[in-house]
C-alpha cells in the first residue's frame, strides 16, 4: 500500500490532497496541519466526494505527526504564502523554522520517504529540508521547474493561439526572479521556439514566465497560486511513486553538473522510484550558462542568510 503525506492544509496542500485522491496516486493520503479541525474537515469533504467521483483513496486529516509514520512520499506545502510586494526570500526565516519542524518527524518516522518540497523560497527550502533530514540527496527534490515550465507553455499557447497540449517548455535555475527560461529547448509540437517566434515575442514570454507567480499574487490581492502548483507537485508524486522515469525540470542537488556544486537548483532530471534517478545536462550557450550561474549566486545568498539565522 502506498502512503503519501501532504504537509499543510492551505490552498496548495488541500488541492494536492484532492488531486492525489481523485487520481488514486496512493491508497492512503494523510493531510496534516497545525490548525485543529481544518485537515479533518477537508479530509471528510474529499472522502465524501469520492462517492460521487468514484475514487477509492482514503484521506486522513490530522494534527498529529504520528499519523504520518511510514509515508512513502511527503509533499511539503506548509509555510507562509507571499503577499503583494513580497519576494520569496522574505519568507526565509518563518518558513525555514516550519521546514525544520517537519523534517524532524519525517526523519524519525518515515526514514525511507521521498520528499517533494513546494514551500518558498523553494530552492533554499529544499536545501534546508535535505540538510535537516540527512537523507540521500536524491530522495529530496523541489517543485519549481514543472510549474514554471507550465506557465511558460501557457503563455506560448496564448500567444500562438494554439493548444497548450502541443507545447513543451524547459525552465531552469532558481524558482524566482532569477529563473532561466530556455527557448531553444522549448517546443511547439516538436518545433523549437526560435523557429516560430520572433526574438521580442520570446523575450516578453520569458519575462512574463519569471513574474508568473507575482502576476497571480497581484491579481488575487490575498493569497497566491495553488491550482498549477498542486498539479505540478502531484505530477512529480506520480513520477516517483509509479516509477515513471519522467524527464522533468526540478530543483535537484548538483555535484558538478552545469559547473555548479553543493546547491539545489532547477535542472532537467529523470524522476523515478528513487527520487532523482539522474540529472540531464543540456548544452547551454554562454548567455544561458551565465544566467544559470547568476541564479545559483542568488540561491547561495539565501543559504548564507539561513546560516546567519542559525537554521543551518
Q: How far apart are CA 105 and CA 247, in angstroms?
A: 30
Residue for grid cell 484532492? 18
Closest CA to 5 of 38, 20, 138: 20
CA count, 13 A, side-chain hemisphere, 279: 22
Largest CA distance in the chain: 55
Q: Which of 19, 88, 151, 175 does the annotation list as catalytic?
A: 175
How many CB atoms lie under 10 A from the CB of residue 80? 15
CA count, 13 A, side-chain hemisphere, 145: 28
Residue 175 bears catalytic tag: yes
CA 147 to centroid of chain Cα atoms: 7
Backbone angles phi, psi at 230, to 5 degrees: -70, -35
Catalytic positions are: 175
Amino acid at each position: 500500500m502506498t502512503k503519501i503525506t501532504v504537509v499543510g492544509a492551505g490552498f496548495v496542500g488541500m488541492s494536492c490532497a484532492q488531486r492525489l485522491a481523485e487520481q488514486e496516486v496512493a491508497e492512503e493520503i494523510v493531510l496534516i496541519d497545525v490548525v485543529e479541525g481544518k485537515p479533518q474537515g477537508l479530509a471528510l469533504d474529499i472522502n465524501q466526494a469520492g462517492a460521487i467521483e468514484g475514487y477509492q483513496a482514503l484521506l486522513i486529516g490530522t494534527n498529529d505527526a504520528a499519523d504520518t509514520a511510514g509515508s512513502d512520499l511527503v509533499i511539503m506545502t506548509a509555510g507562509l504564502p507571499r503577499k503583494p510586494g513580497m519576494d520569496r526570500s522574505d519568507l526565509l526565516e518563518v518558513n525555514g523554522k516550519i521546514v525544520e519542524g517537519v523534517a524532524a518527524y519525517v526523519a524519525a518516522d518515515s526514514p525511507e520517504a521521498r520528499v517533494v518540497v513546494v514551500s518558498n523560497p523553494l530552492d533554499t527550502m529544499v536545501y534546508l529540508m535535505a540538510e535537516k533530514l540527512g537523507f540521500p540527496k536524491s530522495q529530496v527534490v523541489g517543485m519549481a521547474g514543472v510549474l514554471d515550465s507550465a506557465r511558460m507553455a501557457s503563455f506560448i499557447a496564448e500567444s500562438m493561439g494554439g493548444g497548450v497540449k502541443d507545447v513543451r517548455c524547459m525552465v531552469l535555475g532558481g524558482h524566482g526572479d532569477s529563473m532561466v527560461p530556455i527557448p531553444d529547448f522549448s517546443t511547439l509540437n516538436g518545433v523549437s521556439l526560435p523557429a516560430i517566434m520572433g526574438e521580442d515575442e520570446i523575450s516578453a514570454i520569458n519575462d512574463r514566465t519569471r513574474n508568473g507567480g507575482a502576476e497571480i499574487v497581484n491579481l488575487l490581492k490575498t493569497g497566491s497560486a495553488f491550482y498549477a502548483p498542486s498539479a505540478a507537485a502531484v505530477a512529480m508524486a506520480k513520477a516517483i511513486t509509479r516509477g515513471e522515469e519522467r524527464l522533468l525540470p526540478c530543483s535537484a542537488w548538483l555535484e558538478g553538473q552545469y559547473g555548479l556544486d553543493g546547491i539545489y537548483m532547477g535542472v532537467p532530471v529523470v524522476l523515478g522510484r528513487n527520487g532523482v534517478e539522474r540529472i540531464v545536462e543540456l548544452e547551454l550557450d554562454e548567455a544561458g550558462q551565465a544566467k544559470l550561474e547568476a541564479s545559483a549566486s542568488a540561491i547561495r545568498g539565501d543559504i548564507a542568510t539561513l546560516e546567519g539565522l542559525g537554521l543551518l
